[in-house]
Structure 1
Amino acid sequence: MRVGLIVNPVAGLGGAAGLKGSDGVEVQREALARGATARAGERAAVAVRALLAARPDAVVVTVPGAMGEQAARAAGAVPELVAFAPGEPSSAADTRAGVRALAAVDLLLFAGGDGTARAVLDAGPSAPVLGIPAGVKVYSGCFAVGPEAAGHAAAEFAGATGEAEVVDLDEAAYREGRVGPRLHGTLTVPTARVRLSGRKTGSSTAAPETVEGIAREVVAGMRPGVRYLLGPGTTTRAVSRALGAEGTLLGVDVVADGVPLGTDLSERALLDLVAGHETHPIVSVIGGQGFVLGRGNQQISPRVLARTQGLTVLATRTKLAALGGRPLLADTGDPVIDARLSGYVRVITGHRESVPYRIVPVGEEWSG
C-alpha cells in the first residue's frame, strides 16, 4: 500500500497566537513574534506512526523537507521521495503542486486545516484523501477526528470511499468577528470504521433565551477572586454580556470579579494572566463535531491548562442531542493534558440546568 503525505508546515501557527488563522506571510510572522510554534509536522508524525504500527508494510511517499519528509522520518518511516522543490515559506501553490506530484498513491494524507483542504481540492487529487487535523479552523468534513484516527483509517483503507465537504472561511472577515463558511466542493475520502470529524454545524437555531439562561447560570456560579477564561463562541460571549462587557466572539477573554482583565488574548498573554491565580476555563462545544478544546481555541493551550483548575462546558440541549451520544473531545496536542481532562464534566445547558457529559481524549475516539 502506497500512502502519500503532504504537510502544510505553517498550519495552525496562528492558533495559540490568537490570530484565528495562519494564512499569509505577515500573519505567520506575527504568530512567530508572539511565540507560536508550528505543530503540523508533529501531528503528521503521529498519524504516520499509527499507520506503520498497524500496517508495517505501508510505503510512505512524500515530498522533501518540511512538507512531508521530516514528519515521515520523525515517525520512523523511510519515505519514498518524489521530485519536488517547495518555496520557503511554503504556500497554497506548493500544496497544490505537491498533491499533483503524489499522483501515484493509493491514499493521500494531508496535514493542515480548512485552507489546506481547499488547496488539496483545487489540485484535483487522483487518489482518495484524508485530512490530519492541524489547522486553526478544521470545519470541513474530510478530516479524521484526530491524528491517530487518520493513521488508523489509512491502515484500514481497502478501497471503499465516500464524499466529504470542504468548507473555508474568509480569515480577514473571521478576525473581525464575521463568520461565513463557504462550501468549495467535495473530496473523495475513505469510508472506514474510524470516524471522520464531520462538518461543523452552526448554532444559529438556538433560542436567544436559552443562551441567555446559560450565561445567567455561569455568572451566578462565579466566585470572588477566581479568574475565568472565556473561550470563543456566541454562548461564551453571552457570559461577557451578562457581566456588562461586550466580549470577543472568536477570541479568548479573561474576567474576574465581573471585570474584564483582557480580551482576544494569545497563549502568552493568558499565561501571564493565570500565573499565581486560581483560574477556570469556560468553553463551548463545536456543533456537529463535539470538540471542546483544540479547535479554534488553541490559545487555551496545554501550558495554560496545566495552570488551571477544572473545566466548565456550555452547550444547548439541542447541540448535545445532535451528537447522538458521542462523547465530547479534547485535542490539545498533549496526551497527558487530554487524559487529565477526560471523564465526566458539568455541561451547563440553561438557567439552573446542567447535565454530566463525558469527555475523551481525541486519541481514544477512533471509531464511532
Structure 2
Amino acid sequence: MESIGVVVNPIAGMGGRVGLKGTDGKLEEARRRGAEPRAPERAREALRSLHRRAPELTVYTAAGVMGERAARDAGYEPTVVYDPATVREDDATDPARPGDPANAETTAADTRRAVRALLEHDVELLLFVGGDGTAVDVADVLEDTTTAETEQVAATPRDAAETPMLGVPAGVKIYSSVFGVTPADAGRIAAEFDRVEPREVNDIDEDAYREGEVRTALRAIVPVPVAPDLQSSKQVSSGSVDSLATGFAREVEPGRTYVFGPGSTVGAIEAALGIDASPLGVDVWRAAADTEPDKTDSERDSDGREGTVLARDAAETDLLEVLAEPVTIVVSPIGGQGFLFGRGNHQISPPVIRQADEIAVVASDEKLDGIDSLHVDTDDEELDDDLRGWQQVRTGRFTTRMMPVS
C-alpha cells in the first residue's frame, strides 16, 4: 500500500464519560457537562502505530483536528484535501464557525465531504476515527448512497465501493465489525493487511438508547482489512441470567459500594437487589452495614438486600463524588466482542476503576461461548496492562469460568 486517507470525527465519544451514551445531537450538552474530546488522541495513537510500520506512506487527510494534526504528530507530512472552515466560508447555507473544529459543531456532512475528497486521490484505504455514526457516514459515501445533499460528487479514480475502510474506535457505542480492537491495533492492521472481506456497519437509535432501549439496524456491508485484532459485531443476547443474579445478590458484602455497569445481565442483579436500574446507564449502590441476619436467604432473595442507591445513570463526575471504599465494579462483557471497559461504559473511567478493589465480571455461558477473549480499552495504557491476564467470570449461582483479558 502506498497511500491512505485519514478522517477524524473530533467530537466522537465526547458524551461517554459524562453519561450521555453518545454525542449525536448532544454536543452542547456534553460540553456543558465538562466533556473533553477523546478522538484526536486516539487518532494520534493509531497513526503512530501506523508510522512505526509504514513511515513512507503517503497520507491524505482533512485540515486541523479532522486528521492533519494527528498525522503530523505521528511523524507524517500529510496532504490536506479538505478544510471544513473553507467550505463553510464558501457556503452561505452553512455559515463558518470561528476557531478549531473541535470547538465547533463538526457535522456528518464534513465527514462525508472529507471522504469524497480523499477518494478523489485514489487512496487505497480509508482510516476513520469515530464510532458507529462515523462508520455510517463513511460507508454512505463508499456505497454512494448519500445523494440527497446538494454537494457536487466528483468522479473518483476507482470504484468507491471497492475502497476498504477501517475504524479507529473512539465513539461511545460501537456495534459494527469494521473497527480495530484498539487504536494501536487499527494502525498495525492498516500497515500490514493483505486482503479484505465484507463486514457489517451497524448503528443504533441514540435517543432510544438513552431511554434504555437498543434498536439496532444494519446500515451497510463494506470491505474491511482482515486481521485477528478486528472486533466482531456486537451480539444482543437475552438469555436467562436469573440464577446468576440470585447468586450474586445473596453474596453482597455489607457496607460495600457497588458500581453497576450497563446491560441486561448486570441489570438482572440490580433487580434481584431491589434496585430500579437505569438499563443502559451506570448505577451506584451501597449495601447496608447490617443486612438483617434474622432473615433467611430465601427471604433476602425475594425482598432484595437492604442498601442505598447513591447515583443512578451516573456520569464520571457523579461516580467520583459518591464512591467510598470498599468498591466493587460489576460489568458484563459485550456479546460478540468481549469488551469489559471502553465500549458503552466510558463513565467507568480509569480514575473510577482505580478506586475499586474488586472487579466482578458476570456473563451467561451462552454469551461467553461466542467470545474468545475479553478486552479492555480505557484510554490508559498502564491501566489496560494491569487489567490484562486471566479474569474469573461468574456464569451462574455457583459457577464460574476463567477467561483471558487481552
Say yes or no: TM over 0.5: yes
Which secondary structure does the structure 2 equivalent of 1:312 belong to?
Answer: strand
1:12 corresponds in structure 2 to: 13
1:298 corresponds in structure 2 to: 346
Aligned partner of 1:89 among 82, 85, 105: 105
**Alignment pair present for 1:355 and 2:401:** yes
Indicate conservation of the 8 Å contact 1:243/1:259, yes or no.
Answer: no
User: 1:162-177 to 2 correspondence within 5 Å?
Assistant: 162-177=197-212
* Uncovered stretches (5+) of structure 1, i.e. residues with no partner: 361-368
1:121 corresponds in structure 2 to: 139
Cα offset, 1:113, TM superposition: 0.4
Once the two structures are superposed, residues 68-97 of structure 1 have per-residue CA deviations (whole angstroms, 9 ceiling, x without a partner) of: 112112222221211432563210011000
RMSD between aligned residues: 1.3
**Alignment pair present for 1:231 and 2:261:** yes
Cα offset, 1:157, TM superposition: 2.8
User: 1:197-212 to 2 correspondence within 5 Å?
Assistant: 197-204=231-238, 206=239, 208=240, 211-212=241-242
User: 1:145-184 to 2 correspondence within 5 Å?
Assistant: 145-158=181-194, 160-184=195-219
Once the two structures are superposed, residues 260-294 of structure 1 have per-residue CA deviations (whole angstroms, 9 ceiling, x without a partner) of: 211100001001111x4221100001011111110
Indicate conservation of the 8 Å contact 2:12/2:170, yes or no.
Answer: yes
1:2 corresponds in structure 2 to: 3
* Uncovered stretches (5+) of structure 2, i.e. residues with no partner: 89-103, 144-159, 288-306
Indicate conservation of the 8 Å contact 1:34/1:268, yes or no.
Answer: no
Distance 1:277 1:322 in 2: 34
1:332 corresponds in structure 2 to: 378
Query: Which stretch of structure 1 is more off in the superposition, 5-14 or 51-60?
Result: 51-60
Aligned partner of 1:244 among 274, 285, 288: 274
2:54 corresponds in structure 1 to: 55
2:150 corresponds in structure 1 to: none
Distance 1:39 1:294 in 2: 12
The number of residues matched between the two structures is 349
Distance 1:84 1:138 in 2: 27
Indicate conservation of the 8 Å contact 1:113/1:137, yes or no.
Answer: yes
* 4+ residue segments displaced more than 6 Å: none
User: 1:175-194 to 2 correspondence within 5 Å?
Assistant: 175-191=210-226, 193-194=227-228
Cα offset, 1:115, TM superposition: 0.5
CA, structure 1 residues 218+280, in 2 after alignment: closer, same or farther (shift >3 Å)? Answer: same
User: What amino acid sits opposite 1:109 in the alignment?
Assistant: L
Once the two structures are superposed, residues 188-227 of structure 1 have per-residue CA deviations (whole angstroms, 9 ceiling, x without a partner) of: 1112x343111001112x1x3xx11111222222111111
TM-score calculated relative to the size of structure 1? 0.92
2:66 corresponds in structure 1 to: 67
1:363 corresponds in structure 2 to: none
Which secondary structure does the structure 2 equivalent of 1:339 belong to?
Answer: helix
Cα offset, 1:100, TM superposition: 0.3
**Alignment pair present for 1:109 and 2:127:** yes
1:267 corresponds in structure 2 to: 316
Distance 2:256 2:64 in 1: 46
Once the two structures are superposed, residues 289-322 of structure 1 have per-residue CA deviations (whole angstroms, 9 ceiling, x without a partner) of: 1111100000000111121112111111111111
User: What amino acid sits opposite 1:359 in the alignment?
Assistant: V
Once the two structures are superposed, residues 203-253 of structure 1 have per-residue CA deviations (whole angstroms, 9 ceiling, x without a partner) of: 12x1x3xx1111122222211111110000001111111111221110000
CA, structure 1 residues 270+291, in 2 after alignment: closer, same or farther (shift >3 Å)? Answer: same
CA, structure 1 residues 83+182, in 2 after alignment: closer, same or farther (shift >3 Å)? Answer: closer
Aligned partner of 2:180 among 125, 141, 144: 144
TM-score calculated relative to the size of structure 2? 0.84
Distance 1:18 1:83 in 2: 32
User: What amino acid sits opposite 1:197 in the alignment?
Assistant: Q
Distance 2:52 2:74 in 1: 10
Which secondary structure does the structure 2 equivalent of 1:18 belong to?
Answer: coil
Which protein has the larger Cα radius of gyration, Structure 1 or Structure 2? 2
Indicate conservation of the 8 Å contact 2:82/2:113, yes or no.
Answer: no
User: What amino acid sits opposite 1:266 in the alignment?
Assistant: A
CA, structure 1 residues 117+83, in 2 after alignment: closer, same or farther (shift >3 Å)? Answer: closer
Distance 1:80 1:291 in 2: 35
Distance 2:264 2:312 in 1: 15
Indicate conservation of the 8 Å contact 1:311/1:345, yes or no.
Answer: no
Once the two structures are superposed, residues 30-83 of structure 1 have per-residue CA deviations (whole angstroms, 9 ceiling, x without a partner) of: 112222211111111111101110111112211111111121122222212114
Distance 1:278 1:33 in 2: 31
Indicate conservation of the 8 Å contact 1:84/1:101, yes or no.
Answer: no
User: What amino acid sits opposite 2:230 in the alignment?
Assistant: L
User: What amino acid sits opposite 1:102 in the alignment?
Assistant: L
Which secondary structure does the structure 1 equivalent of 2:166 belong to?
Answer: strand
1:364 corresponds in structure 2 to: none
Which secondary structure does the structure 2 equivalent of 1:102 belong to?
Answer: helix
User: What amino acid sits opposite 2:113 in the alignment?
Assistant: A
Cα offset, 1:345, TM superposition: 1.8
2:116 corresponds in structure 1 to: 100
